[in-house]
Structure 1
Amino acid sequence: MNEVTKLTTAKDWASDQEVRWCPGCGDYAVLKAVQRTMPDLGVAREKTVFISGIGCSSRFPYYMASYGFHTIHGRACAVATGTKLANPELDVWIITGDGDALSIGGNHTMHMLRRNLDCQLLLFNNEIYGLTKGQYSPTSRVGTRSPSTPFGSVDRPANPCAFALGSGARFVARGIDVHKNLPEVLKAAHAHRGASFVEIFQNCVVYNDDVFASFTDKSVAADKQLWLKTGEKMLFAAGTKGLALDMDRHMLKVVDGDSDEVLVHDPRNRAIAHMLVEMPASAFPVALGVLYEDPAPTFDSAVTEQNQFAANGKAADLQKLVSQGQTWQVEKEPRAE
C-alpha cells in the first residue's frame, strides 16, 4: 500500500478542470465512484497515476487530482507498464474504452494482462465508438446500425471478460456505471496484487442509449443481475433462483433458489468464471462483481528482483559502461600552416 501523507476526501481527488462529457453520460457516475473510493483505499495522491488512451473515457486523468497521462490510441497499457517499471511504488490505474482497449490496443491489453502488471484497468464498455461519432466497436452487437454499419453490423462482438480470462488475467470483475456496488468492485480490484481487469457497463446516451437496459433497468434488475460474493450461493431474483452446473451439457443452468445444486461462488475457479462471462443474456442473468481472482507473482516485482540480482556487488560506473567493447578516439589533426 502507498505511504499515506494525510487523510483525503472525495473532494481532494477532484481536479479543478471542468468535467466535459455529454449530459447524462455514464462516465460521470464512474468518475464520482472512483473519487469516492480513493479515500477509502488509503493511498497518496502524489503516488497515484491515472493513464488513459483515446476516447470519451480517456479524459478521465484530467479530472483526478493526481498524476496522469493522456496517451495515444490503444497504448495506455504500454505507457502504464513503463510507468510502473520506472517507479514500482506508484499506484497505477488504466482508464480505457471498448474501442481503445480491444481494437488498436488489443495486443497491448493482452500482453499487460498475461504479464500480470500490478495495476487496475477499468474498461468502460458502451458497445460503441462515442468520441468519433457513433461507429460500431469491437463489442457492438450483431445488427448494430451505425455510420460505419448502416445496414447493421455482421461482426460477432468481442466479450471483454472472456478476452481477459483468455489473456491470462488473474483478476476479472464487472460493474455498472450507476450501481451502488461499483465502489466495492473498485476496492476489490485495488486490493488484488497484480493486473485487475474491471469491465464497467457504461451507457452512452447519445449513440447507444439504453443498450444495457435489458439488465440495468429497475424493472428487471433483480431478475437479470447476479452479484457474486465469495463463499455465498449464486442466487438472484431475490433468492428465488440460482445457478447450478448442467453436467450433461457442460454449462450452467438456472434452478430454484432452494435447490441443493446451487453453486457457491469460488473466485479461484477459472472454468466456472468462463461459464459466467459467456452466459447468454436471453436465458441467464448477467454475472457482476468479482468473477475470478487467483493471485500470482507480478511482472514488475519480477523485473525489480532481476535488476537487483544483476546489480548485486557491482558499482555504477557510467564512463566504464560507455567505454567498454569496441571504442575508438578521434585524434585532433594538426592545423595546416
Structure 2
Amino acid sequence: MNDLTPIKTTLKDWETDQEVRWCPGCGDYAILKAVQRTLPDLGADPSKTVFVSGIGCSSRFPYYIESYGFHTIHGRAPAFATGIKLANPELDVWLITGDGDGLSIGGNHLMHILRRNVNTQILLFNNEIYGLTKGQFSPTSREGTFSPTSPMGSVDRPASPCAFALGAGGRFIARSYDVSKDLASVIKAAHAHQGAAFVEIFQNCIVYNKDRFDDFIAKPIADANQVWARHGEPLLFAKGTRGIGLDTDTLTLKVVDVVDGDWRGAGVIVHNVTNRAVAHMLIEMPFGPFPMALGVIYDDPRPTYEGELLGQDQKARAGKSADLGKLLAKGQTWTVPG
C-alpha cells in the first residue's frame, strides 16, 4: 500500500454534497460507486487523498469524491499528479482519465508518468468514443465506427490502452469493466502496487456508443468470452471447459479445450503477474478467436520516481545548512553603490 496510516471510514465519508450528473445509465456511476466503496476497505484518509482529472465525462470524478481534487486541463492530469506527488509524497494520488483525454492530447503526458513510475493509481475509462464533445471517434474506437467525424466508418486502427501502458514502461497493468463485481479487487491491487498502477476500465456510453462491450460483458455470454487473470491460477474460462495455452512451436497463445477438469493435461498456463512477455500476449489477444483478458495482467514493482528523486535531494542536503545569502552571492556578483 501507499505509506499512509489506515483510518476507518464509511461509504458516506467519501460522498460529496454535489449532485452526481452523468447521462442516465452511464457506466461512470458504477465506477464511482465502486471506488467510493473500495476506499474505506483501503483505510484511505480523505484528508490525505487527491483525485486529479483532465477533461471529459470521466473528469467530473473529483467533484464526487470527498477528498482533495483537481479538475485540470485536457490531457495534462498526469503532469499535475506528478507535481502533487513530488510536492507531498505522503498524499495518496489517483488519476482519472478517459480514452480521448489520456491517449490523444494526453498520450505524451501519460507515457511519462508511466515510464517514470510515479506512485499513483491511474484509472482510464475506455468507452471507445468522445462522449463530452458529442460522439466523435476516439483513439480506441474500433475500425468501422460510425460517428459525426467518421460518417462512413472510422478507418483508424484503434490504440490499445494496456499495450500503450506496458510499452511505456508501466509496471502494473490491469483491466476490468464498469459493472464488474471484480472491479473493486482490481482497484485494491492497483492501490497496493508501489508505483504507477494503470487500470483500463471498459465503460458503457449509453448515448453515443451504447452496449459497445456486450460482446464480452453481456451476462449470457460473459463467462465464455472473459478470462480473468489471477496470479498463481490457471487461465481458464467458459466455466473451466476452456483455457489459454502456449504454442511452443510459434511461441504464441492458443485456446485449448479442458476435458474432465484436467487443465494441466490440456496445457493451460498458470498466470504469473511478473511475466511481461505473457502479459503482452494476453493484452494483444485478438477478441473473437480469444476471450477478453481481464484482471491484474502484469504486476512487477520497481523503485518509484519520487522515492529515487527525493533520495537524491536528501543526499545533496546531507551535511549542509541552508544559507540564502550565500546562495545569492555565489558566482559573479557585484554591488551597486548607494
| TM tier, smaller | over 0.9
SS in 1 for 2:282: helix
Check whether the contact 2:6–2:43 (CA below 8 A) recurs between aligned residues: no
Deviation at 1:6, TM superposition (A): 4.1
Check whether the contact 2:7–2:44 (CA below 8 A) recurs between aligned residues: no
Q: Which segments of 5 or more consecutive residues in structure 2 lack a partner in the other structure?
A: none
SS in 2 for 1:145: coil
> For the residues of structure 2 that align with 1:55 and 1:284, how far apart are their CA atoms?
31
> For the residues of structure 2 that align with 1:142 and 1:283, how far apart are their CA atoms?
17
- Percent identity of the aligned residues? 67
> For the residues of structure 1 that align with 2:143 and 2:9, how far apart are their CA atoms?
45
TM-score, with normalisation over the residues of structure 1? 0.96
> 1:152-179: CA deviations, max 9, x gaps?
1100000000111111100000011001
Q: Which segments of 5 or more consecutive residues in structure 1 lack a partner in the other structure?
A: 333-337
> 1:281-321: CA deviations, max 9, x gaps?
11111111000011101101001100000011111122222
Residue in 1 aligned with 2:294?
A: 288
Deviation at 1:194, TM superposition (A): 0.5
Residue in 2 aligned with 1:71?
A: 72
Check whether the contact 1:73–1:105 (CA below 8 A) recurs between aligned residues: yes
SS in 2 for 1:220: helix
Query: What pairs with 1:294-305 in structure 2 (closer than 5 Å)?
Result: 294-305=300-311
SS in 2 for 1:21: coil
Residue in 2 aligned with 1:335?
A: none
TM-score, with normalisation over the residues of structure 2? 0.96
* Correspondent of 1:314 among 309, 312, 320: 320
Aligned residues: 332
The answer as to 2:62 corresponding to 1:56 is no
> For the residues of structure 2 that align with 1:250 and 1:143, how far apart are their CA atoms?
31
Check whether the contact 1:2–1:44 (CA below 8 A) recurs between aligned residues: no
Residue in 2 aligned with 1:45?
A: 46
The answer as to 2:314 corresponding to 1:323 is no
The answer as to 2:279 corresponding to 1:273 is yes
> For the residues of structure 2 that align with 1:208 and 1:326, how far apart are their CA atoms?
63
The amino acid of 2:329's aligned partner reads: S
> For the residues of structure 1 that align with 2:178 and 2:328, how far apart are their CA atoms?
53
The answer as to 2:244 corresponding to 1:243 is yes
Q: Note closer, same or farther for the CA distance 1:44–1:2 as it changes in structure 2 (3 Å cut).
A: farther
Aligned residues: CA RMSD:
1.1
> For the residues of structure 1 that align with 2:209 and 2:252, how far apart are their CA atoms?
31
Residue in 1 aligned with 2:141?
A: 140
Check whether the contact 2:190–2:199 (CA below 8 A) recurs between aligned residues: yes
Deviation at 1:3, TM superposition (A): 4.0
